[in-house]
Amino acid sequence: MNLPYYKTVRGYGEAEIVIKRSQFIGHAKPVETEEEAVAFVEEMKQRHKQATHNCSAYIVGERDQHQKASDDGEPSGTAGKPILEVIKNRGLKNVAVVVTRYFGGIMLGAGGLVRAYTDGAVAGLAAAEEVYKVLHTPVRATFDYSWLGTVEYELRGRGVLFGDIEYADKVTVRCLPNASESARFIEWFTNLTAGQTELQVGESEYLEHSQLPSNSL
């Protein structure tokens, strides 16, 4: 994807709730493709073969172009659609959710099922930890040692991510500005060091953030 950022989940999460003796287990996982989403749904179905239902939904793609919801035997519209709506309402992408139900002997009715599967999806997503994936462009900056103090101070002050510092004949810092402001970053860095920096731009990559970072330049 080439979005400047999107919201998803950090990793696999699982949480259980009990409603009128029925056990609902919410499972959520980040996925990169529709094939991964389908495989995750099948994995949960195999893991919970004895369950009454394994209802699911997923959204995948930059434009949310791959969407699917399954009631898996529950009355139409009472399970898969509510799970899908939870994903949409939270603005999540590249996420698959399965809510497993072990029937406890008490009928919930259509409204009760919608609420139960909604709550199961919410619980599973909470366990998976929602995060932002922000597109960053790596920029390797090589300069004389005389600039090191100034560069570190300015990078930290502006909240620009940077990685390991290499010490050789010159200093090299791997900076990770937001991709959306990488051109401005290169101009800013060049001006900061009076044009005495060699800059190499790498391929953009997504990094996780618990909160959406603000522009730093």
List, for residues 80-90, the tens digit of each pLDDT value. 999 999 999 99
Q: Which of 33, 28, 34 is nearest to 8 (CA)?
A: 28
Specify the pTM: 0.88
Whether pLDDT at 214 is above 90: no
Give the number of other Cβ atoms within 10 Å of residue 162's Cβ.
17
Map out the domains of the chain with their CATH numbers: 5-128 (3.30.230.30), 134-209 (3.30.70.240)
Q: How far apart are CA 42 and CA 36, in angstroms?
A: 10
In 84-111, which positions are buried (b, 16+ CB within 10 angstroms) versus exposed (e)?
Answer: bbbbeeeebbbbbbbbbbbeeeeebeee
List, for residues 6-40, the tens digit of each pLDDT value. 999 999 999 999 999 999 999 999 999 999 999 99
List, for residues 185-213, the tens digit of each pLDDT value. 999 999 999 999 999 999 999 999 998 87
Q: How far apart are the first and last CA of the chain?
A: 24
Measured CA distances, 62 to 52, 65, 124 (Å): 34, 7, 23
